[in-house]
Amino acid sequence: MAKKGGLMKWLDERLAISELWRVMMSEYYLPKNINFLWSFGVLTMLVFVILVVTGIILLMYYKPDSKLAFDSVNKTIMMDVSYGWVFRHTHAVGASIMFLVLFIHMARGIYYGSYKAPREVVWVTGFILFVLMSATAFTGYLLPWGQMSYWAAQTITTLFEKIPFIGPDLVIWIRGNYIVEDATLTRFFALHVTLLPALILVFTVIHMYAVRIVGSNNEDGIPMTKEEKKKNGIPFWPVFMSKEFFVMSVFLLFFFYLVFFNYGFAMDPINFQPANYLQTPPHIYPEWYFLAFYEVLRGFFFSETLGLIAFVASMFLPLFLPWLDRSPIVSGKHRPLFRIMFWIFIIDFVFLTILGKLPPTGLFAWLGFIGAIVYFIFFFSLPIISFIEKKQVASGGGQQ
């Protein structure tokens, strides 16, 4: 860091800023064998900042009251406030793109085995961020008080009823009433704008700190000591960050193309009708990023309880990856069997997402069931693949 004086020196003596800068930025080295997929962590942070800034502006005009909410969004923000529509579109597209970026960030982690030791804490804190982000998106979706907002909240909260003993009471506690209504809106609003974003911020700091402690993985999954990285790696600041700025600029072009020319995918047309608790829409579905999990739930169409268990398992199984996959080989680049299962999993996830929006009848219902089973096969194949690879490594084959 350049020589400092005046205010910087004063702050440094009290807050050790240059020490923090050294550890987190200028003397944090990344391996050379990483590709552009390692930029998705920073892109996630960028989208989060966009969501917070646009969210604060929307908050100035939004009314968390079931009689006023719909008009405050669709009339005040969209028509009366200068550029209100830009902020609303940016926030809605931001929420959708957040999940696209998160899914790529997670898939990169899975493919290159970034969840394996010593990165378990990075993985677990990342997973907590995914759960928090899902809760934020779910609570936020109710706020415009449109037909799909209302019925998606009604359907998803009803799922909790199936939980033995506490289910029915829990649903009333979540909704604040027997059905989704004003009390639900105000509590979802409170969580969406305060607790959840604050927790996301806290866990992002812990996640980043954990990455700094154990260091980044690389394409080949080769463990590198701090000294090796210092000798052969690239410093985060300014070298890696300059690449990140380039990736961010390209990403922002794509992002604002969507905001201005293709925002429709992030806003369901049915949601432009005000919520009506007497009229169920012909077909209820969540936003695209929850469709795969929703389809796992519907896949077990012959048993509601089994469907609910499968739904919860499909969301939480990724958390256990570090313990399901015990192979000594880290990166998917050197694991042919794992690679096949990984790509089947990705195709299956896309397939489930597409099916999730179609009516769950006839052939679609059975395809949903097959898709759900394939989803679980990926996770439960990992201990078997690990066993085979352990034997290969022990016999001198395979690459570690």
Contacts 24+ apart (CB under 8 A), 72-81: 73/143, 73/144, 73/145, 74/144, 74/272
Distance CA 308, CA 372 (A): 12
* CB 263 within 8 Å of CB 89: yes
Q: Is 151 in the site for ligand HEM (CB under 6 A)?
A: no
SS3 390: helix
Binding mask 216-235 for ligand HEM (x = CB under 6 A): xx------------------
Total of chain residues touching ligand HEM, rule CB under 6 A: 29
- Contact call for residue 69 and ligand HEM (CB under 6 A): no
CA distance 121 to 330: 16
Cα–chain-centroid distance for residue 289? 9
Which one of 57, 97, 102, 152 is in contact with ligand HEM (CB under 6 A)?
102
Give the binding range for ligand HEM (CB under 6 A) out of 59-67, 155-163, 202-210, 290-298: 202-210
To ligand HEM, the closest distance from the beta carbon of 4 in angstroms equals: 27
> From the CB of 214, what's the least distance to ligand HEM, in Å?
8
Q: Which residues have C-beta within 8 Å of that of residue 325, sequence separation ≥ 6?
A: 113, 115, 116, 338, 382, 383, 385, 386
Q: Is the dihedral of CA 119, 125, 129, 130 positive or negative?
A: positive
SS3 329: coil
Distance CA 221, CA 338 (A): 14
Q: Does 96 bind ligand HEM (CB under 6 A)?
A: no
DSSP E strands in 43-156: the ranges are: none
Smallest separation, CB 112 to ligand HEM (Å)? 6
**Block residue for tokens 């796992």:** 296
Can you say whether the dihedral through the CA atoms of 35, 41, 47, 50 is positive or negative?
Answer: negative
Q: Is 314 in the site for ligand HEM (CB under 6 A)?
A: no
109, 144, 146, 322: which one binds ligand HEM (CB under 6 A): 109
Q: Which of 89, 175, 207, 334 binds ligand HEM (CB under 6 A)?
A: 207
Question: Which of 266, 276, 279, 265 lies closest to 146 in space, CA to CA?
Answer: 276
Decide if residue 351 touches ligand HEM (CB under 6 A): no
Per CB under 6 A, 115 contacts ligand HEM: yes
Min dist. Cβ of residue 30 to ligand HEM (A): 9
* DSSP designation for 65: S
Pattern 260-299, ligand HEM, x by CB under 6 A: ----------------------------------------
Cα 190 → chain centroid: 21
Nearer of residues 62 and 130 to ligand HEM, judged by Cβ: 130
Cross-strand partners of 29: 235
Among 42, 224, 275, 315, binds ligand HEM (CB under 6 A): 42
Contact between 382 and ligand HEM per CB under 6 A:
no
Show the tokens assigned to 303: 């048993």
Select the residue interacting with ligand HEM from 29, 38, 141, 150 (CB under 6 A): 38
Q: Which two tokens stand for residue 374?
A: 């394939």
CB of 371 to ligand HEM, least distance (A): 21
Task: Please report whether residue 106 would count as binding ligand HEM according to CB under 6 A.
Answer: yes
> Residue from 28, 29, 31, 40 that binds ligand HEM (CB under 6 A)?
40
Instruction: Output DSSP code: residue 29.
Output: E
Question: 167 is written with which tokens?
Answer: 């289910």
The interface region with ligand HEM, picked from 66-74, 137-145, 199-207, 292-300 by CB under 6 A, is 199-207
114 forms part of the interface with ligand HEM (CB under 6 A): yes
Residue 33 or 186: the one with the smaller Cβ distance to ligand HEM is 33
Beta carbon of residue 38, minimum distance to ligand HEM (angstroms, whole number)? 5
Q: Is 379 in the site for ligand HEM (CB under 6 A)?
A: no
Q: Give the nearer residue to ligand HEM in terms of CB position, either 122 or 355.
A: 122
22, 126, 362 from 34: Cα distances, Å: 22, 19, 46
SS3 call for 278:
coil
Q: Which residue ranges make up the site for ligand HEM (CB under 6 A)?
A: 38, 40-42, 44-45, 48, 102, 105-106, 109, 112, 114-115, 119, 122-123, 126-127, 129-130, 133, 200, 204, 207-208, 211, 216-217
